[in-house]
Amino acid sequence: MKTSKIIEYLDNLFPNPVCELNFEKDYEFLIAIVLSAQSTDKRVNSVTPILFSEYNNLKLLKEANLCDLEKIIRPVGSFRKKAYYVKEIARILDEECGGVVPTDRDKLLSFPGVGRKTINVFLSEYYNIPAIAVDTHVERVAKRLGLAKENDDVLTVETKLQKKFDKSLWSRLHLQLVLFGRYHCKAIKPECYNCGLIDICREKKKNL
Ligand code: SF4
């Protein structure tokens, strides 16, 4: 069966998958995910140590000068809008959530810059709540492997993956698909010559 083959292959390739964003506290992780939109984990990891050491609690972050925040997070791109998100997320967490990132999806959706993908990544990684976050890598790999159709939107891809894989595998599978897409099944020049899933892949001919 296709899904068993995928699980077996990804388990061999990434036996201990971990999120590549660096963080210590819950709000640092949430903010790191928000900063990673349209950027890379590497770039985010280059700015968050500075950000979270200069503003090492939510009160300092919510009162930070916007221009100072913009200067720090500039390398991640869209820095004006993201600086506003950081300040506002810190304010909401401090004033409305007792300083703790909540598990309530509706509350999280009310945070600026926080969408379904961010929530899924956060809940599955930080609270170990089963979820499959569909980012650009997960979407691309799922479509190439025929787990979703080419014109499916991200929500449909997420639903299809949830139906095809056991709930206990979701969080791990998300990380494995991200790593597989980032390092092997890349958007440009995927490493099909070296891929153990080539037999079930829709795109192999195009890429070889
Ligand atoms: Fe990706 Fe190529 Fe493997 Fe298909 S054969 S899953 S495109 S790396």
How would residue 141 be classed by pLDDT, with cut points 50, 70 and 90? Answer: very high
Query: What is the average pLDDT score of the chain?
Result: 96
pLDDT for 39: 95
Q: Within 13 Å and on the Cβ side, how many CA atoms surround 125?
A: 27
How many residues comprise the chain?
208
- Ligand 1 pocket member 183 (CB < 6 A): no
Are 104 and 50 part of one and the same domain?
A: yes
Q: Which of 137, 186, 191 maximizes ligand 1 atoms within 8 Å of its Cβ, making it the mutation to test the pocket?
A: 191
194 belongs to a structural domain: yes
Provide the number of structural domains found in the chain: 2
Predicted confidence (pLDDT) at residue 86 exceeds the cutoff of 80 = yes
3-state secondary structure at position 85? helix
Q: Is there a domain that residue 120 lies in?
A: yes
Residue 208 pLDDT greater than 80, yes or no: no
Residue 179 CB–ligand 1 contact under 6 Å: no
Q: Maximum distance among all alpha carbons in the chain? A: 55
Q: Are residues 66 and 121 in the same domain?
A: yes
Phi-psi region of 79 (alpha: psi -120 to 50; beta: other; left: phi over 0): alpha
Q: Which domain holds residue 38?
A: 26-126
Ligand 1 atom closest to Cα of residue 195: 3
pLDDT tens digits for range 146-197: 999 999 999 999 999 999 999 999 999 999 999 999 999 999 999 999 999 9
Residue 99 has pLDDT above 80, yes or no: yes
Q: How far is CA 51 from CA 7, 83, 117, in A?
A: 37, 11, 23
Pair (44, 109) in one structural domain: yes
111 and 62 housed in the same domain: yes
Name the catalytic one among 135, 153, 163, 199: 135
Q: What residue has token string 């070296």?
A: 194
Residue 184 CB–ligand 1 contact under 6 Å: yes
**177 CB less than 6 Å from ligand 1?**
no
Does 21 map to a domain?
no
pLDDT in tens, 17-58: 999 999 999 999 999 999 999 999 999 999 999 999 999 999
206, pLDDT greater than 70: no
Determine whether 135 is an active site residue. Answer: yes
Q: Separation of 21 CA from ligand 1 center, angstroms?
A: 25
Q: What percent of the chain has pLDDT over 70?
A: 98
- Decide: 10 in ligand 1 pocket, CB within 6 A: no
Q: Which of 182, 174, 177 is nearest to 132 (CA)?
A: 174
Catalytic annotation on 117?
Answer: yes
Same domain, 64 and 10: no
* Residue 12 exposed, middle or buried by CB count within 10 Å (0-12, 13-18, 19+): exposed
Same domain, 49 and 10: no
Nearest to 79 by CA among 69, 89, 87: 69
